Amino acid sequence: MARSSDGNKKERIMDAAVVEIAHRGYHQTTVARIAKRAGVADGTIYLYFKNKEEILFSLFDRAMGRFIDEGRASLEKSSEAPEKLRRIIELHLTLVGEDRDQAIITQVELRHSLHFMDQLSRAQVGEYLSIIGQVVVQGQQKGEFRAELDPVFAAKAIFGVLDEMATDWILSRRNTRLESKAGAVFDFLWAGLKPSC
């Protein structure tokens, strides 16, 4: 079976890891279990990943890459800052909400340790925050958002609200769609951002 079905084997392992880790948690998940679900031998995992932790990092990279890429792409389509804000909110909630297992990885399992979060936040989370921050800056320049607001602070506040909605959605077992919160989130944040009158 070698050499032919290679292309997707790493992906298959990652997909299996998402399911297993989402269900049992990272530390209760054995490498053997991931291998079994992926349909490969235990040792095969180590042909694609240096160790167990690297699997988790890869899951993060794959997920965060989508947030950043699609975030950037979506912002190009609109020009008004409030509209961009709305798009960011919708995209964030849609991406988190479309796969519950992946969301558990992102919202819970990836936040295991300070050491781990540190690496995450320095890299791509920081980049994502800066995308949000740029929207705020642009809005301020055009007078659409309050000028006295620190854009770095605002980006964190926006992210905080989105993140809390995502975590809350995972913990509530009800069958709601996460995107359905987008309107309320936008209204709330927009009220906090627009120039007071």
Partner DNA sequence: TACCATACTGAATAGTCATTCATTATCCCC
Partner DNA sequence: GGGGATAATGAATGACTATTCAGTATGGTA
85 lies in the binding site for a second copy (CB under 8 A): no
**How far, CA to CA in Å, does 93 sit from each of 7, 71, 97, 161, 170?**
30, 12, 6, 11, 12
131 lies in the binding site for a second copy (CB under 8 A): no
| Minimum distance from residue 42 beta carbon to DNA (Å) | 4
Q: Nearer Cβ to DNA, position 10 or 146?
A: 10
Instruction: For the segment 22-61, give every residue that binds DNA (CB under 7 A).
Output: 28-32, 39-47, 51-53
8 lies in the binding site for DNA (CB under 7 A): no
69 lies in the binding site for DNA (CB under 7 A): no
The answer to whether 168 and 86 are in contact (CB under 8 A) is no
124 lies in the binding site for DNA (CB under 7 A): no
Which part of the chain contacts a second copy (CB under 8 A), choosing from 3-11, 32-40, 73-81, 166-174?
Answer: 166-174
**How far, CA to CA in Å, does 184 sit from each of 21, 154, 172, 180, 181?**
31, 17, 18, 8, 5
186 lies in the binding site for a second copy (CB under 8 A): no
189 lies in the binding site for a second copy (CB under 8 A): yes
Which residues of the chain form contacts with DNA (CB under 7 A)?
A: 1-6, 9, 28-32, 39-47, 51-53
